């Protein structure tokens, strides 16, 4: 194979049709083509600006572009027969529910790994891919996390700031004391997506990743629920933060429970109309 070696990006000249697609597609503008008769080349020091997004590999119809960190063998061809219609996508997106009643059935590690392995394809600012996952498995561990959240809620209610807390706080605490866990909903698994505090887009990136996670969970017959209560408690409770054990400096985070839904849904509930300002 005759190749123009550019270290990070190599073009197979025997395959390249010089259509310039990689040149037009590259978001960093590091691939250039002298004219329509020339094979594209990576510009000098282009590697430093490369986002490692793999768009150049994905857009080439001729398998001519090799990227050192986005190998072709790990960048599979898009299977046209797996494409879904917009009608299928519309129903699927509306099918996702916040699950608060779970079967008494554990989720295995491979299943969680599978969901995270797909959530990592969510977009990230500058393709930074800094989202990290902390996973707690088993109802006992989750009960401890619920206990610590309730302990913080009780302390917050008893404090001067208690009157400024949401009106449902006392109800959740009373229900918990009566044996109803509205914190982790008796789910068998808790995941916390987090990102370094110094990274500006951390909260956005991890939120999108969690959305991918829960959509993949839905597709696999599992259910999830975002946990605003734990997210809030985590900002204040050191014992809870210690029990969760996030990586050092990860001040962007959000928790989500995962398990097998107890109930099946038969309708797609309506939501408010979209608020749009056309300009
Ligand atoms: C950021 C966020 C935080 C949430 N926190 C909680 C929570 O602490 N407890 C809970 O039961 N549901 C929580 N939810 C679920 C919402 O109540 C739910 O999304 C909403 O009622 C719509 O229902 P659906 O998700 O089934 O469409 C949260 C959702 C989001 C997006």
For residue 22, the domain's CATH number is 3.30.70.20
* Cβ contact 31:60 at 8 Å: no
254 C-alpha to center of ligand 1: Å? Answer: 12
Residues composing the chain? 279
99 and 212: one domain? Answer: yes
> Which residue owns the Cα nearest ligand 1 atom 7?
227
How far is 270 from 141, CA to CA, in rounded Å? 36
Cα–Cα distance list, 249 to 193, 196, 197, 202, 206 (Å)? 13, 6, 6, 12, 15
Output Rg (C-alpha) for the chain, integer angstroms: 24
CATH number at residue 245: 3.40.109.10
Which pLDDT score is estimated for 220? Answer: 98
Angle between helices 169-177 and 139-158 (to 10 degrees): 130
How far is 31 from 165, CA to CA, in rounded Å? 55
Instruction: Compute the half-sphere exposure of residue 202: CA atoms within 13 Å on the CB side of its CA.
Output: 17
25 C-alpha to center of ligand 1: Å? Answer: 38
Probe ligand 1: pick from 146, 228, 252, 264, max atoms within 8 Å of CB?
228
Measured from CB, residues less than 6 Å from any atom of ligand 1 are 97-98, 100, 225-229
Residue 116 lies in a domain: yes
256 C-alpha to center of ligand 1: Å? Answer: 10
> Which numbered atom of ligand 1 lies nearest the CA of 99?
26
112 and 209: one domain? Answer: yes
How far is 62 from 26, CA to CA, in rounded Å? 16
> Which numbered atom of ligand 1 lies nearest the CA of 230?
8
Which pLDDT score is estimated for 160? Answer: 82
36 and 145: one domain? Answer: no
The dihedral over CA atoms of 47, 50, 54, 56, expressed in degrees to the nearest 10, equals -80
> Which residue owns the Cα nearest ligand 1 atom 9?
227
65 C-alpha to center of ligand 1: Å? Answer: 44
225 C-alpha to center of ligand 1: Å? Answer: 6
pTM for the full predicted model: 0.95
If 0-12 CB within 10 Å is exposed, 13-18 middle and 19+ buried, where does residue 224 land? buried
How far is 70 from 74, CA to CA, in rounded Å? 7
Which pLDDT score is estimated for 6? Answer: 56
Probe ligand 1: pick from 149, 181, 192, 226, max atoms within 8 Å of CB?
226
Residue 264 lies in a domain: no
How many domains does the chain contain in total?
A: 2
93 and 64: one domain? Answer: no
65 and 95: one domain? Answer: no
The residue range of the domain holding 173 is 89-259
Residue 82 lies in a domain: no
Instruction: From first to last of the 279 residues of the chain, give the pLDDT tens digit.
Output: 444 445 899 999 999 999 999 999 999 999 999 999 999 999 999 999 999 999 999 999 999 999 999 999 999 999 999 999 999 999 999 999 999 999 999 999 999 999 999 999 999 999 999 999 999 999 999 999 999 999 999 999 999 887 889 999 999 999 999 999 999 999 999 999 999 999 999 999 999 999 999 999 999 999 999 999 999 999 999 999 999 999 999 999 999 999 999 999 999 999 999 999 999
């Amino acid at each position: 194979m005759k190749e123009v070696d550019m270290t990070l990006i190599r073009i197979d000249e025997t395959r390249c049709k010089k259509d310039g697609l990689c040149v037009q597609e590259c978001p960093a503008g590091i691939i250039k083509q002298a004219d329509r008769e020339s094979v594209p080349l990576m510009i000098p020091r282009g590697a430093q600006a490369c986002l490692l997004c793999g768009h150049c590999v994905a857009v080439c119809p001729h398998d001519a572009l090799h990227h050192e960190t986005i190998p072709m063998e790990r960048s599979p061809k898009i299977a046209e027969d797996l494409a879904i219609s917009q009608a299928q996508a519309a129903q699927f997106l509306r099918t996702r529910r916040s699950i608060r009643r779970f079967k008494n059935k554990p989720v295995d590690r491979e299943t969680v790994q599978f969901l995270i392995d797909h959530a990592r394809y969510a977009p990230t600012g500058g393709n930074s891919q800094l989202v990290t996952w902390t996973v707690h498995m088993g109802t006992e561990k989750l009960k401890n996390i619920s206990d610590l959240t309730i302990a913080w809620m009780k302390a917050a209610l008893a404090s001067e700031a208690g009157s400024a807390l949401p009106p449902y706080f006392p109800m959740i605490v009373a229900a918990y004391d009566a044996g109803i866990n509205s914190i982790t909903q008796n789910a068998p698994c808790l995941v916390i997506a987090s990102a370094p505090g110094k990274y500006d887009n951390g909260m956005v990136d991890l939120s999108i990743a969690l959305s991918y996670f829960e959509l993949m969970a839905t597709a696999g017959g599992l259910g999830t629920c975002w946990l605003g209560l734990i997210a809030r408690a985590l900002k204040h409770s050191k014992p809870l933060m210690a029990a969760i054990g996030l990586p050092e400096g990860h001040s962007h985070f959000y928790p989500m429970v995962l398990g097998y839904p107890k109930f099946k849904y038969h309708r797609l509930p309506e939501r408010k109309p979209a608020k749009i300002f056309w300009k």
